[in-house]
């Protein structure tokens, strides 16, 4: 019997943009559990609020609307997002929660949910993007640092696999959503506070690091 858990994904990509890895993977995982897909905030007037949509069964897209001009999951966005995340945490109370990160910038928000496991699905080298926030690499160090004492250097692609291995991860292949599904199932029941559980790499073969 598979463990019952909900996935809360934080992404730098919009669900209704290009249908790519997040949608492919998470929509399949949603066949057996609820998936909440938290997008980056969008500028709006008035108090912070969620804009909700349900593009398919078991997938809820949550787009925060805030009055903060800083883009992405910038530190300036954290105060207005805090009550929204608290609201989501209250809705998920009593459930096993897996935080699923496509960007390390959302780490403080994921941690605020008190997840039982965290997945880092590294599909883009975000630090190489134009206008990337300077704190992005530090957030990634913090994210990988959950797996061991100290702060491993951040890396991507082959370098990310090497850092993951140095942090005490094994490596396995996840070519299909079902493979990742099984790996997450094996880690979701450990209990909160046990650190980073999976690192998914963006390269061909979708290498997965797991403890």
Q: What is the pTM of this model?
A: 0.74
Which residues constitute the domain of residue 40? 5-210
Residue scoring higher pLDDT (198 or 24): 24
pLDDT in tens, 32-59: 899 999 999 999 999 999 999 999 999 9
Residue scoring higher pLDDT (165 or 144): 144
pLDDT at 121: 80
State the residue for tokens 């690091």: 209
CATH number, position 143: 3.40.50
Mean pLDDT, residues 193-210: 38
pLDDT at 66: 97
Distance, CA of 199 to CA of 120 (rounded, Å): 5
Q: How confident is the model at residue 182 (pLDDT cuts 50, 70, 90)?
A: low
Total number of domains constituting the chain? 1
Dihedral angle of Cα 21, 88, 119, 62, to the nearest 10 degrees:
10
The rounded percent of the chain whose pLDDT value lies above 70 is 63
113, pLDDT greater than 70: yes
Question: Which residue, among 47, 51, 55, 70, has the nearest Cα to 23 in the 3D structure?
Answer: 55
Q: How confident is the model at residue 25 (pLDDT cuts 50, 70, 90)?
A: confident
Q: Mean pLDDT, the chain, as a whole number?
A: 74
- Contact between 9 and 102 (Cβ < 8 Å): yes
Q: What is each CA distance from 148 to 13, 164, 195, in whole angstroms?
A: 29, 10, 8
């Amino acid at each position: 019997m598979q463990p019952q858990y909900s996935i809360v994904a934080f992404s730098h990509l919009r669900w209704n943009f290009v249908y790519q890895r997040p949608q492919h993977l998470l929509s399949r995982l949603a066949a057996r559990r609820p998936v909440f897909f938290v997008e980056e905030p969008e500028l709006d007037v008035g108090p912070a609020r969620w804009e909700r949509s349900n593009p398919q069964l078991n997938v809820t897209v949550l787009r925060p609307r805030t009055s903060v001009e800083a883009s992405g999951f910038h530190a300036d966005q954290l105060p207005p997002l805090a009550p929204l995340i608290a609201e989501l945490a209250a809705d998920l109370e009593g459930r096993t929660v897996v935080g699923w990160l496509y960007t390390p910038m959302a780490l403080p928000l994921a941690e605020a949910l008190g997840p039982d496991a965290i997945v880092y699905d590294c599909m883009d080298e975000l630090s190489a993007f134009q206008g990337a926030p300077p704190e992005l690499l530090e957030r990634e160090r913090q994210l990988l640092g959950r797996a061991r004492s100290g702060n491993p250097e951040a890396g991507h692609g082959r370098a990310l696999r090497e850092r993951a291995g140095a942090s005490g991860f094994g490596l396995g292949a996840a070519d299909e959503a079902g493979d990742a599904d099984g790996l997450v199932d094996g880690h979701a029941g450990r209990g909160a506070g046990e650190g980073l559980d999976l690192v998914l790499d963006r390269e061909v073969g979708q290498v997965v690091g797991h403890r």
